[in-house]
Amino acid sequence: MSVKHALSRGLELGRSVLQGGLLKAGGRVAAKLRAERLRAEPALRTAQPRALLPARYRYYRTSLRGLAAQLQSAGLFRRFVGGAPRNRAVFLAFGLGLGLVEQRLDEERLGAKACQEIQAVFQKKKFHSSLKPFTFGYKLEDYVIGNQIGKGSNAAVYEAAPQFASSKESERPSPLVPVEEDKDEHESRRVRSLTCCSLRNFPLAIKMLWNFGAGSSSEAILRSMSQELVPADPVALKQEKEQITLDGSFGVLPKRVSAHPNVIRVYRAFTADVPLLPGAREEYPDVLPARLNPDGLGNNRTLFLVMKNYPYTLRQYLQTCTPARRQACLMVLQLLEGVDHLCRQGVAHRDLKSDNVLLEFHSADGCPRLVIADFGCCLSQSDSSLQLPFSSMWVSRGGNASLMAPEVATAIPGHGAVIDYSKADAWAVGAIAYEILGQQNPFYGAVGLQSAKYQEQQLPALPSGAPADVQLVVQLLLRTDPSKRPSARVAANMLHLSLWGQKALANQDSAGLRKLLDWLLCQSAVVLLRGCGGPGGTGVEAELQRSFLCNLDLEDLLTAVGFLLYGRQQRQACILSAEIH
């Protein structure tokens, strides 16, 4: 047998042994040690893992590097004391292979530590809204109510302003009195675009929920509509309302998510008597209480939510505008960042569509800012598993059947059955991306695809002008098998790398991980400098970069790199195939 063949056999033997469980055991030991070091005091960090391994794994009591050194030493020893060349080559090749594995593990440990340190720095930086904080507003009488700006299946939204917002008392409308409208404005109210002047006069929006069967007590209303409070600010409710009766027992409100630039923020929440607001008798007469409409079915009191006033929904914006390539990529990325933030805190939106995404233009870099709104159908869990027991057909799957992920639409109720929502909202982002990129949503309309039955090859091609990496992300997000679909975090990382990390992706070789870490350090320095008063520190791109670094994880980042490189290889193969034919 030749030495070359013996070396290859040795490497194969080493690989088979490692895959057989020894490397897994070593990995478990390394993970155990890392966890112990994080919990232990400095004086206890010298503990050795000798008790964690059986005697037959004696070489692994130290490390893979120790085993590699011993095998290499054994190979050299046999060279001088005798022994078959084949056996010497096997020992030497196995030792060299383990040495390379340990070197790779060392690099990944250093990379994971660097990512944790970067993440810790940026997690301390809180998101601050551009809206000035206020300490009032727990009563409906604290606001001036303007015109209706939106209406859905369970609520109406009106523009609003604080009582003292107007600089001139004589020009300020009276509270709860409809603003006078002429007939032309009344006809176009549903599709009206708010002007800058209107936004200055009415910087807030009040959402009035429709109350059919929740009763008229504050406790019953808050219990029935508690999902709407998931994005609520910590001071949204009065302190005495922080604890309410839930499901027949005295408890606390459902878990609420922390502030994020791409998730709506509810600044105030309170119950009040339903008033007669502009357009009520024409737009929603059946949900009014009997005191306002004798034929109405609504209760006297309901829940009101106070939020920032956004001029457009995403659907309204896309009906008149087509974003440029970079803007479209940033808009999809914002949705993924918002979905990832919700998933990390145990919330699945379950009704994600372009009507439930709001948009504004106040960014320093000219890109629209998107926020996810309307949490009436959301699933909020304290354990963050996002798995809903599906014991019977009466369990709600969520809203918007057209954009219901395949694993949700095809779920069958039964004993022990669950619906996993961990990647359902990310799938919906993939469908909405078609609209952002200038095409019709493939799951809408009479001839649209059905999420429960479609095949991936049935998806229409995206516009050729769309960035290739964005097309790849959309293609991956719309995979029917959730196990093959990237999470929102991985998909967001892919777009971050595509936008700002092209140098880190170029010429991936044995030094690829070091290049990636160098890029992360440079990116962190740039974002920190912007936050200290540098240019572009308040734009959408700066917010996205901070969000990326705040949620940095090496495993998710390497997964994103793998997806991008695979996609680029596939594109190159297609180009070569087309040139050949």
Active site residues: 351
Q: Name 305's bridge partners.
A: 207, 269
Contact 265, 259 (CB under 8 A): yes
What gap in Å lies between CA 54 and CA 57, rounded to an integer? 6
Closest CA to 549 of 119, 259, 113: 119
SS3 63: coil
SS3 469: helix
Output phi, psi for 274, to 5 deg. Answer: -70, 120
Output phi, psi for 378, to 5 deg. Answer: -70, 160
Contact 155, 208 (CB under 8 A): yes
Which parts of 328-463 are beta strand (E)? 347-348, 357-360, 369-372, 379-380, 387-389, 418-420
Helices (H), 325-467: 325-344, 406-409, 424-436
Residues 6+ apart with CB under 8 A from 391: 413, 414, 415, 417
Output phi, psi for 579, to 5 deg. Answer: -70, -35
